[in-house]
A and B are shown apart, each in its own frame.
Chain A
Amino acid sequence: MTVELLILVALASGILAYFVGRLNKVLGAVVTIVASMFIFIMIGYMMQDINAGTTFNYNAVEYMPDFVTFMVTYLGLFFAILVTFIFAMVSFFNPFFVEKYKYPALYSMLYLFSLAGVLGVFLTDNFMVLFFFFEFIVWSGLFLIPLGKNNKAAISYYAFSTAGSFALLYAIFIMFAQTGSYNLHLGLATVSGTTEGTYVLALLAFAAFAKLGAFPLNVWLPRALGKAPDAITAVFSGGLEKLGAFVAVLALVKLAPIGDIAGTLGGLTEATFLFASQYIVATLGAMTIVFGTLMAIRQDDAKKLLAYSSMSNGGYILVALSLGGTLGLSGGLYHIVAHALASAAAFLAIGAVSRVTGTTKMSELGGMIHKMPVTYMVYLIAIISMAGIPPMGGFISKWLIFQAVIDNGLILIAVAVFFGSIGSFLYVFRPLAALFLGQELPQHRDKAKEAPFFMLLPMLILSGLIVFTGVMPNIFLDFINDVIAELGGTGLLLGDYTITGVNGVLQPTLIASVFGVGVLIAFIIFILLKKSKKVGLMDTYTAGNFIYTEELMHYSLDFYAPLERLYEKHINITKDFYKKLENKVVDFGRMIKYFFFTNKPEITVFWIIVLIGFLLWGEL
């Protein structure tokens, strides 16, 4: 099953989904499920071929023009499997959400088009094909977002992603000018280390930052993910953000870092042997973590909160990849997997809740656990992994990243990373408490019921995988070692159940089993002891007097009000910066319009005279 056949299948099924969608909305969405599952399985088969050592490239091509070549590499396959898996899982949600959208058929078509784009980006060795599909995803994603609430978010999404992809394009052309070909590996290899290499690294990093929604270019991520339709937010944060990670890998790993080693920034960096470019990217990644966490804490809308969380997790990935080395690389790549699974599961859970209640605002929800216990479990597992607590996958990657940061002696960044993980526990807990725990709100009591089986299935698979990546990480780490080997690094030292980091060995299965035993014991105690009596809302008393109105007794909002007040004033620094930038462009345009476009011909004549005068000035 060659790569471009796969891409053509994805495109064809997209068009098929459009026409089927015209007839019957739900059927169109079902086509997306079938197509994405099929593609995921096919990518799975490629796993075996590549393990058999045949990193073949598929340029025996009859359908596409000859310069379009594809190559299956470990790196590409790693990302492709992960993202197609997320696409497949989220596609189960499509049939249930598709009625609400304005253009249902278009939704299913663009869903599969972005899948085709993802395949195109990850599985090619030709930069122009990479850019073609990169833009293609931007273009199809662009028309998906406004299906949700409003289209202002889509514009800022388009602005930042296009800025990113055009930076990528400029880098591609610099490499093309050097090598005369668009080959990805050849281009990066010839350019790395030279002066052009600096521009290429800067531009690729810019593209990665734009796609990941990292600090300087993060304005679009929360707005787009907050406003986009529920299923698409899962795909965006789980899958499409990983494009940025892929470009980050190209920039930070395949290109040799630049800047002399120690004390480049005037002795400021206490880093002992880090290059300037690595240090800058790491600092920006750390700032992304901090700002993402701070912003996430004060959000009222659960989807926006998770959007900020995926922004700060993007920061983690950037920090890990920029440090490089075995720990950095494996930590970064593993974090990509863990974060993808966790954020997809979390978004799907929130999506399930919003399907039933119509809102994701924490102030309007409460006590969903009574009606949706399974969704609650899925969300709980997801946030444990996001917070990086042992049994889940998130812990492994954070453990690796922390070691990488400490090992490189980056104290400042270490502080930021620690702050990020504590903060992540803070803000992921808020939706748990607000949405699921507490008493049931009267207005949702009748409507709320557990999500149907076909929605629960992907959520359960995802949470199963989250646990599995936590308990048995070595399977995934072997594959990551192959990827690192291909990138030229040395893989992690892996026993059958142990991971040896810099300072100590980790037996995740041992921890998990201990943790499991503890949970088991607690569960038994819970079962044996006397059941707590469930009482109605009115059947209590407070300080001696009975209550007469059904008002909530539990407190699930503004947990961290004092913390929020600390940085209330300067919340949207970046947003104001871009607003000012936009206003400058508008004023410039209006000034030119006012000055040049009047109904009097004298302006043109005046400028003609000025230009002729300018030319003839030399004659005097």
Chain B
Amino acid sequence: MKNFLAFITVLVLGYMIVVSLDNNEAFPAYGEADVSSRVSQAFIDRSVTEDPGDIIFGQATNLESGPANIVTAIVADYRSFDTLGEVTVLFVSSLGVALLLGGKKQKRLELNFHPNFMLRVGSRALFGIILMTGVYIAIHGHLTPGGGFPGGAMIASSMLLLYLADDEFRAKIKGFKMLESFAGTAYVLIGLTGLLLGGYFLENLLDNGVIGDLFSAGIIPIVYVLIGLKVGSEISGIIDNFLTEEGV
């Protein structure tokens, strides 16, 4: 009975929200978002500081923010402070998971599933490929969709594959900790150098090169690779914490 009541209230609420959004004249209907009246038009035209005019893929050089993928431009350049906050969220949650679950000397969780030989070897081979695609996505963040976070997730999924495929496998947590700390410190230090040299925190110091090239968009690929590594190591750390337990 209580569930039914809750269902009715939720239904009514949903209906009310939909109706209120429909006849709210300020809220654009689905699909009719007028981007030109929004802040993001400047991101598309890269015209926040000065208007570079028409941007042609492969020809426009040293725009105010280099990446061809405008979403990466926003995530890693225009609003890269969010991403810094973003990375700290993951950092804290992995730290927290380690605090909550991490014990003294950990050992793998006794699962009643024991992988056979074929799975163990096959997963080794597959691990390499997944890792490579993860790194590829992280590196090409400024050109193709994806970037640091999806790349990091891919890297972590490769670790997860190993954990699942082999019940004795344990990654070197100490290594992940080092990598995570290194990537985080590097990211903040890049920001601080931006502050010292360019006058603004996280400023894009290196020149942006030609839009569309691999080595373009200044510090953004570097930042994204660092993020990829950091996210990968953090999520693998979380996976390791969940799949291990107290004991010798």
Determine direct contact between A and B, CB below 8 Å.
Answer: yes
Cβ–Cβ < 8 Å partners of A609 in chain B: 9-10, 13
A616 close to chain B: CB less than 8 A:
yes
Q: Which of B15-23, B147-155, B202-210 contacts A (4 or more CB under 8 A)?
A: B15-23
Main secondary structure of the interface of A (DSSP, over half): helix
Q: How far is the CA of A620 from the CA of B9 in the complex (A)?
A: 15
A616→B20 contact, CB < 8 A: yes
B41 to chain A, nearest CB (A): 31
A373 close to chain B: CB less than 8 A:
no
Give the contact-size bracket for chain B: under 10
Cβ–Cβ < 8 Å partners of A613 in chain B: 9, 12-13, 16
Cβ–Cβ < 8 Å partners of A612 in chain B: 13, 16-17
Cβ–Cβ < 8 Å partners of A446 in chain B: none
B17→A616 contact, CB < 8 A: yes
Give the contact-size bracket for chain A: under 10
Q: How far is the CA of A571 from the CA of B60 in the complex (A)?
A: 96
Q: How far is the CA of A620 from the CA of B16 in the complex (A)?
A: 7
A538 to chain B, nearest CB (A): 84
A619→B12 contact, CB < 8 A: no
Chain B, Cβ-Cβ closest to A617: B16
B16→A616 contact, CB < 8 A: yes
Within 8 A of A (CB), among B22-38: 23
Cβ–Cβ < 8 Å partners of B20 in chain A: 616, 619
Within 8 A of B (CB), among A566-620: 609, 612-613, 616-617, 619-620
Cβ–Cβ < 8 Å partners of B13 in chain A: 609, 612-613, 616
B4 to chain A, nearest CB (A): 15
Chain A, Cβ-Cβ closest to B16: A616
Cβ–Cβ < 8 Å partners of A617 in chain B: 16
Q: How far is the CA of A219 from the CA of B12 in the complex (A)?
A: 53
A148 to chain B, nearest CB (A): 53
Q: How far is the CA of A57 from the CA of B67 in the complex (A)?
A: 77
Main secondary structure of the interface of B (DSSP, over half): helix
Q: How far is the CA of A620 from the CA of B22 in the complex (A)?
A: 11
A126 to chain B, nearest CB (A): 52
Chain A, Cβ-Cβ closest to B10: A609
Cβ–Cβ < 8 Å partners of A619 in chain B: 16, 19-20, 23
A499 to chain B, nearest CB (A): 79
Cβ–Cβ < 8 Å partners of B16 in chain A: 612-613, 616-617, 619-620
Chain B, Cβ-Cβ closest to A613: B13
Cβ–Cβ < 8 Å partners of A616 in chain B: 13, 16-17, 19-20
B19 to chain A, nearest CB (A): 5
A402 to chain B, nearest CB (A): 70
Indicate the member of A613, A616, A620 with the most B CB atoms within 10 Å.
A616
Q: How far is the CA of A613 from the CA of B11 in the complex (A)?
A: 11
Cβ–Cβ < 8 Å partners of B10 in chain A: 609
Q: How far is the CA of A617 from the CA of B12 in the complex (A)?
A: 10
Contact with B along A186-203 (1 / 0, CB 8 A): 000000000000000000
Cβ–Cβ < 8 Å partners of B12 in chain A: 613
Q: How far is the CA of A620 from the CA of B23 in the complex (A)?
A: 10
Chain A, Cβ-Cβ closest to B9: A609
Q: How far is the CA of A620 from the CA of B19 in the complex (A)?
A: 7
A603 to chain B, nearest CB (A): 12
Indicate the member of B9, B12, B16, B23 with the most A CB atoms within 10 Å.
B16
Indicate the member of A609, A612, A619, A620 with the most B CB atoms within 10 Å.
A619
Contact with A along B61-97 (1 / 0, CB 8 A): 0000000000000000000000000000000000000
Cβ–Cβ < 8 Å partners of B17 in chain A: 612, 616
B12 to chain A, nearest CB (A): 7
B3 to chain A, nearest CB (A): 11
Cβ–Cβ < 8 Å partners of B9 in chain A: 609, 613
B119 to chain A, nearest CB (A): 40
B223 to chain A, nearest CB (A): 37
Q: How far is the CA of A612 from the CA of B12 in the complex (A)?
A: 11
A605 to chain B, nearest CB (A): 9
Q: How far is the CA of A429 from the CA of B10 in the complex (A)?
A: 75
Cβ–Cβ < 8 Å partners of A620 in chain B: 16, 19
Q: How far is the CA of A619 from the CA of B14 in the complex (A)?
A: 12
Q: How far is the CA of A612 from the CA of B21 in the complex (A)?
A: 13
Chain B, Cβ-Cβ closest to A619: B20
B113 to chain A, nearest CB (A): 34
Q: How far is the CA of A43 from the CA of B9 in the complex (A)?
A: 73
Q: How far is the CA of A619 from the CA of B9 in the complex (A)?
A: 16
B13 to chain A, nearest CB (A): 5
Cβ–Cβ < 8 Å partners of B23 in chain A: 619
B228 to chain A, nearest CB (A): 34
Indicate the member of B12, B17, B19, B20 with the most A CB atoms within 10 Å.
B20
Q: How far is the CA of A589 from the CA of B162 in the complex (A)?
A: 56
Q: How far is the CA of A613 from the CA of B20 in the complex (A)?
A: 11
B51 to chain A, nearest CB (A): 41
Cβ–Cβ < 8 Å partners of B19 in chain A: 616, 619-620
Chain A, Cβ-Cβ closest to B19: A619
B87 to chain A, nearest CB (A): 28
Contact with B along A472-493 (1 / 0, CB 8 A): 0000000000000000000000
B216 to chain A, nearest CB (A): 46
A458 to chain B, nearest CB (A): 70
Within 8 A of B (CB), among A272-303: none
Within 8 A of B (CB), among A157-185: none
Q: How far is the CA of A620 from the CA of B12 in the complex (A)?
A: 10
B126 to chain A, nearest CB (A): 40
Q: How far is the CA of A451 from the CA of B19 in the complex (A)?
A: 87
Q: How far is the CA of A488 from the CA of B230 in the complex (A)?
A: 85
Chain B, Cβ-Cβ closest to A610: B9
Chain A, Cβ-Cβ closest to B24: A619
B71 to chain A, nearest CB (A): 31
Q: How far is the CA of A600 from the CA of B173 in the complex (A)?
A: 36
Chain B, Cβ-Cβ closest to A618: B20
Given contacts A613-B12, A613-B16, A616-B13, 4 further A-B contacts (CB under 8 A): A612-B13, A612-B17, A616-B20, A617-B16
* Chain A to chain B: the 5 pairs with minimum beta-carbon distance, closest first: A619-B20, A616-B16, A616-B20, A619-B19, A609-B13
Residues of B in contact with A (beta carbons under 8 Å apart): 9-10, 12-13, 16-17, 19-20, 23
Residues of A in contact with B (beta carbons under 8 Å apart): 609, 612-613, 616-617, 619-620
A-B contact pairs, 5 of them (CB 8 A): A612-B13, A616-B16, A616-B17, A616-B19, A619-B23
